[in-house]
């Protein structure tokens, strides 16, 4: 194989390669062997037609493009890898010429990894909030815990605000039942605002077994067919229950935790909430640092890198949907679009992440970031433990180069974050200016 020329322009490379006859012949023969089982020629059983006969009928070079596909790995190694052409994605065949003596010359075009010029990535100023937990947040968590251990009791009295009324109901528009207006055995928390305004107030005062008509006018911004309409709901109360929430005191603390006093429980809630808040702030700060470093980077991003990142993001999102019982197609339709619409929605995030990726890779190169074999082994062991798999199985599943790149990237992120200068967020008044 002879690489005749390589022309680089921006993020593109054009490579002209002359292929050895023997190599080309091996590819053509493989292509013929794969294709012949589907070819039928008069006088021969299906799949038994000689190659020369097929070539005579369809052209001497009928198998050449498929043959080229068969030997593409060897061509790629010689024309791209050994020539230090940093191709992004798969090269395209731009031209194929066959001389009179059957010498094959191909022209490949490919996008190449871009030139990356780093901007400031050390000592950059990034806003970082202070972790704060308010008394209201602590009380809200105590309320949640109290609700979890609350008990319910059926009462033989008229319903009051705060009670739960189990009701049957049916709505009528000018005496005609309307779609979606019927329910049976529905638990309605009075005062929750979950029903149309005015409905819950009219259930107050009704006791178990009581029925009545409730007059309601739907809001003007309700769904079109009922917006602004006066309707009548026939309501029957099946039972009335009250929720008994325990008092938040030392006994409550003993019942719901390992602590002896309410103050100790509050202190624990505050400490855990503060820890979680700090983790979120640290994560947001790290992301902001990396994004700012990427913003300072100058690069002409190849489309192939963006498309590859877009593929990754779509794949991850598809997996999340699958875990929730949805498919990508179904979700796209549910959102009023199709797969193309969804892909376009992900594109801005993919473009941002692709630039972050090349920035971090350049920092790894510039700073001489390295990863030891011990670090790689420790990461593999951690993954095996996380996924409850044998270490050897993880080694089979995950390429070492992928682990190495991931660890290098993490070190680059840490380098940026450790050198960053955290500044207090601007106040709202300053932001408005």
Query: What is the pLDDT at residue 33?
Result: 92
Where residue 315 falls (left for φ over 0; alpha for ψ -120 to 50; beta otherwise) is alpha
Instruction: State pLDDT tens for residues 92-129.
Output: 999 999 988 889 999 999 999 999 999 999 999 999 99
Report the run of H or E that residue 7 belongs to, with start and end.
strand 2-9
CA gyration radius, the chain: 34
Determine the Cα–Cα distance for residues 91 and 108; give it in Å rounded to an integer: 6
CA dihedral 117, 119, 122, 125 (to 10 degrees): -150
Mean pLDDT throughout 241-247?
Answer: 95
Query: What is the pLDDT at residue 430?
Result: 58
pLDDT at 7 over 90: yes
Confidence class of residue 324 from pLDDT cuts 50, 70 and 90?
confident
CB 379 within 8 A of CB 428: no
The domain 262-432 is placed in CATH, from the list 1.10.3120.10, 3.90.76.10, 3.60.70.12, 1.20.58.340, at: 1.10.3120.10
Query: What is the pLDDT at residue 373?
Result: 94
Query: What is the pLDDT at residue 215?
Result: 94
E strands of 48-202, at which residues?
Answer: 87-98, 104-112, 116-117, 125-127, 151-155, 164-173, 176-189
Alpha helices per DSSP H over 161-205 = 199-203
Mean pLDDT throughout 408-430?
Answer: 91
Instruction: Report which DSSP code applies to 253.
Output: H
Residues 6+ apart with CB under 8 A from 324: none
The pLDDT mean for the chain works out to 93
Instruction: State pLDDT tens for residues 125-173.
Output: 999 999 999 999 999 999 999 999 999 999 999 999 999 999 999 999 9
Better pLDDT: 121 or 45: 121
Query: What is the pLDDT at residue 344?
Result: 93
Query: What is the pLDDT at residue 57?
Result: 87
Instruction: State pLDDT tens for residues 202-241.
Output: 999 999 999 999 999 998 888 778 888 999 999 999 999 9
Report the run of H or E that residue 373 belongs to, with start and end.
helix 373-387
Percent of the chain with pLDDT over 90: 80
Confidence class of residue 45 from pLDDT cuts 50, 70 and 90?
confident
pLDDT at 431 over 70: no
Query: What is the pLDDT at residue 363?
Result: 98
The fold adopted by the segment(s) 151-244 is: Chitinase A; domain 3 (3.10.50)
Query: What is the pLDDT at residue 145?
Result: 96
pLDDT at 367 over 70: yes
Question: What is the number of alpha carbons within 13 Å of residue 122 lying toward its C-beta?
Answer: 5
Domain boundaries, the chain: 2-113, 151-244, 262-432
Instruction: State pLDDT tens for residues 58-78.
Output: 898 999 999 999 999 999 999
pLDDT at 432 over 60: no
Whether 151-244 shares its CATH topology with 262-432 is answered no
Determine the Cα–Cα distance for residues 411 and 64; give it in Å rounded to an integer: 47
Q: Which of 33-37, 41-45, 255-259, 287-291 has the lowest mean pLDDT?
A: 41-45
Query: What is the pLDDT at residue 180?
Result: 85
Query: What is the pLDDT at residue 433?
Result: 52
Query: What is the pLDDT at residue 41?
Result: 84
pLDDT at 399 over 60: yes
Confidence class of residue 335 from pLDDT cuts 50, 70 and 90?
confident
CB 37 within 8 A of CB 46: yes
What CATH code would you report for 2-113?
3.30.70.1050
Percent of the chain with pLDDT over 70: 99
pLDDT at 43 over 90: no
């Amino acid at each position: 194989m002879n690489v005749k020329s390589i022309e680089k322009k921006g993020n593109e490379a054009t490579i002209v390669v002359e292929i050895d006859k023997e190599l080309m012949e091996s590819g053509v023969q493989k292509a013929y062997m794969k294709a012949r089982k589907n070819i039928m020629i008069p006088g021969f059983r299906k799949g038994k037609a000689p190659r020369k006969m097929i070539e005579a009928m369809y052209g001497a070079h009928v198998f050449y493009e498929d043959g080229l596909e068969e030997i593409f790995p060897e061509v790629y190694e010689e024309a791209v890898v050994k020539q230090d052409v940093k191709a992004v994605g798969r090269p395209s065949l731009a031209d194929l010429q066959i001389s009179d003596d059957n010498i094959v010359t191909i022209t490949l075009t490919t996008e190449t990894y871009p030139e990356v010029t780093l901007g400031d990535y050390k000592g950059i100023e990034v806003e970082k909030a202070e972790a704060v937990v308010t008394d209201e947040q602590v009380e809200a968590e105590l309320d949640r815990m109290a609700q979890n251990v609350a008990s319910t009791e059926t009462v033989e009295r008229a319903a009051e605000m705060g009670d739960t009324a189990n009701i049957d109901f049916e709505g009528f528009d000018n005496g005609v039942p309307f779609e979606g207006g019927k329910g049976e055995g529905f638990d309605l928390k009075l005062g929750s605002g979950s029903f149309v305004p005015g409905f819950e107030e009219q259930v107050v005062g009704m006791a178990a077994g009581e029925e009545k008509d409730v007059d309601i006018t739907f809001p003007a911004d309700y769904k079109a067919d009922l917006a602004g309409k006066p309707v009548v709901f026939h309501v029957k109360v099946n039972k009335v229950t009250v929720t008994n929430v325990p008092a938040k005191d030392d006994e409550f603390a003993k019942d719901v935790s390992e602590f002896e006093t309410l103050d100790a429980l509050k202190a624990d809630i505050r400490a855990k909430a503060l820890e979680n808040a700090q983790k979120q702030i640290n994560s947001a700060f790290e992301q902001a640092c990396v994004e700012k470093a990427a913003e300072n980077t100058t690069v002409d991003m190849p489309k192939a890198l963006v498309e590859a990142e877009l593929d990754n993001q779509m794949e991850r999102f598809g997996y999340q949907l699958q875990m929730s019982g949805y498919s990508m197609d179904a979700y796209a339709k549910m959102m009023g679009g199709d797969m193309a619409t969804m892909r376009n929605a992900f594109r801005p995030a993919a473009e941002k992440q692709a630039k972050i990726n090349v920035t971090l890779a350049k920092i790894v190169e510039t700073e001489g970031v390295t990863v030891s074999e011990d670090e790689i082994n420790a990461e593999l062991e951690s993954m095996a433990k996380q996924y409850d798999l044998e270490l050897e199985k993880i080694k089979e599943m995950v390429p070492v180069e992928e682990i190495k790149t991931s660890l290098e990237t993490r070190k680059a992120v840490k380098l940026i974050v450790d050198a960053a200068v955290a500044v207090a967020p601007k106040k709202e008044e300053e932001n408005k200016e």
